[in-house]
Chains A and B, each alone.
Chain A
């Protein structure tokens, strides 16, 4: 048994999840591939969204995968970092906007 929770080489084995449930695994990968195909949004735009979500979800596999995917698409490191701040802004905004709930509660409880 490995001594750490994450092993970079496990990313290569992602496809193996289908081995224990072929039907749902196949459906997932079909869905996944359809999502990333070019539509109203370009594959490049979708790659940047995926990179940001990878960070907000803090998934190391996804960060590896979509950093590499971005480089392959010619996305620059400056563009990647700019996109990341969108995720960071939403994460911090999501924290702070709950402050309204805190303020409401304080206002209700205090005399």
Chain B
């Protein structure tokens, strides 16, 4: 398992243009598989248009204490791209006026941003209905300065969404690194201890399941039952919902697919599982993704592929919600990842 990012390793796939070339060439240029554009055109869903903004997702930086095999951000300890306080101030202006009901902080490990707590404190004053922090769990146990994060989250009524690829140690550590499973279990227990994830609790704790390999996630509710049964029986851990998220063929997961000779089969599987009903509710239609340096994207994946929004407004500093709604979504073949089967989004299935 690599312990540094593609960028640090000077891997060609750290380059967004190279990734976009791969996603447009081969089986998609020789007609073996339809491009995403031609596929959604079959059901008159092209161009894909944004609807009213509901979710403001802010990436606080690509630095992370983990180097997960499948990471679409190519995050890791060596990534230095961190949102500055100046950009956070610009975000706060938007958070105060947005009509979005959900504020979603992600990374990297967002908690590693030195101004993370200040930003959460300020943002929570805006009173957004659902305030999410995507936590990788192990950060809570990384060192003692983070041990009180469960209390901090509770104080600000943060909705915690955490990655947990499997309920067994073997599968989890293979994807996320040695020791990740044990630390994640401890972190989940500490969240349960302050009330997170308990039945009927307002302190929301949801888990995210990503397949640990070149296959698609199965039925979300069936997986949720299996996760709940195993975590309560083995560790006494409770949580609310499980979100099954498909791995998109970009960044480190694309690197893995190519190196393991699974790329073509995986793209076939995504295209075969294409579901036009998922297109109607795909997350880019109600989300804006803000990068660590304040630029706007249709989703976190487009952010990593350097595909900016198709709108006159490109940066949080001149944000204008009315000009962003109804924009045309920028697409490529990676979008098949969000429309396969029951669909996939940061909030799980969509169809």
A contact residues vs B (CB 8 Å cutoff): 12, 42-44, 68-69, 71-74, 76
- Residues of chain B at interface, number, CB under 8 A: 19
Question: Separation in Å of the A68 CB from the closest CB of chain B?
Answer: 5
Residue of A44, A73, A74 with most partner-chain B CB within 10 A: A74
Task: Evaluate contact between B268 and A43: CB separation under 8 angstroms.
Answer: no
Task: Evaluate contact between B226 and A44: CB separation under 8 angstroms.
Answer: yes
Cβ–Cβ < 8 Å partners of A42 in chain B: 222
List CB contacts (< 8 Å) of B213-249 with chain A: 213, 215-219, 222-223, 226-227
Cβ–Cβ < 8 Å partners of A44 in chain B: 222, 226
Cβ–Cβ < 8 Å partners of B219 in chain A: 43, 73
Q: What sequence of 0s and 1s flags, for each residue 152-173 of chain B, a beta carbon within 8 Å of any chain A beta carbon?
A: 0000000000000011101100
Cβ–Cβ < 8 Å partners of A76 in chain B: 166, 168, 170-171
Question: Separation in Å of the A58 CB from the closest CB of chain B?
Answer: 22
What is the total of A-B residue contacts with beta carbons within 8 Å? 33
Task: Evaluate contact between A74 and B166: CB separation under 8 angstroms.
Answer: yes
Is B211 an interface position by the 8 A CB rule? yes
Task: Tell whether A72 pairs with B171 under 8 Å between CB atoms, given A43-B222, A44-B226.
Answer: no
B contact residues vs A (CB 8 Å cutoff): 166-168, 170-171, 209, 211, 213, 215-219, 222-223, 226-227, 268, 272
Task: Evaluate contact between B222 and A73: CB separation under 8 angstroms.
Answer: yes
Task: Evaluate contact between A74 and B215: CB separation under 8 angstroms.
Answer: no
Residue of B168, B216, B218 with most partner-chain A CB within 10 A: B218
Bound: A69/B166 CA distance, A: 16
Task: Evaluate contact between A72 and B268: CB separation under 8 angstroms.
Answer: no
**Option from B170, B226, B272 in Cβ contact (under 8 Å) with A74:** B226
**What does DSSP make chain A's interface, helix, strand, loop or mixed?**
helix
Task: Tell whether A71 pairs with B211 under 8 Å between CB atoms, given A12-B268, A76-B170, A76-B171.
Answer: yes
Cβ–Cβ < 8 Å partners of A12 in chain B: 268, 272
Cβ–Cβ < 8 Å partners of B211 in chain A: 71-72
List 12 additional A-B contacts (Cβ < 8 Å) besides A12-B268, A42-B222, A76-B171. A12-B272, A43-B218, A44-B226, A68-B215, A72-B216, A72-B217, A73-B219, A73-B222, A73-B223, A74-B218, A74-B223, A74-B226
Bound: A69/B217 CA distance, A: 9
Question: Separation in Å of the B45 CB from the closest CB of chain A?
Answer: 24
Bound: A73/B211 CA distance, A: 9
Cβ–Cβ < 8 Å partners of B226 in chain A: 44, 74
Bound: A71/B167 CA distance, A: 13
Question: Separation in Å of the B114 CB from the closest CB of chain A?
Answer: 37
Question: Separation in Å of the B50 CB from the closest CB of chain A?
Answer: 31
Bound: A44/B230 CA distance, A: 15
Cβ–Cβ < 8 Å partners of B168 in chain A: 76
Cβ–Cβ < 8 Å partners of B222 in chain A: 42-44, 73
Cβ–Cβ < 8 Å partners of A68 in chain B: 215
Bound: A71/B223 CA distance, A: 12
| Closest B residue, CB atoms, query A79 | B168
Task: Tell whether A71 pairs with B166 under 8 Å between CB atoms, given A12-B268, A42-B222, A43-B219.
Answer: no
The 3 nearest A-B residue pairs measured at CB: A72-B218, A73-B218, A72-B215
Bound: A83/B227 CA distance, A: 20
| Closest A residue, CB atoms, query B269 | A68
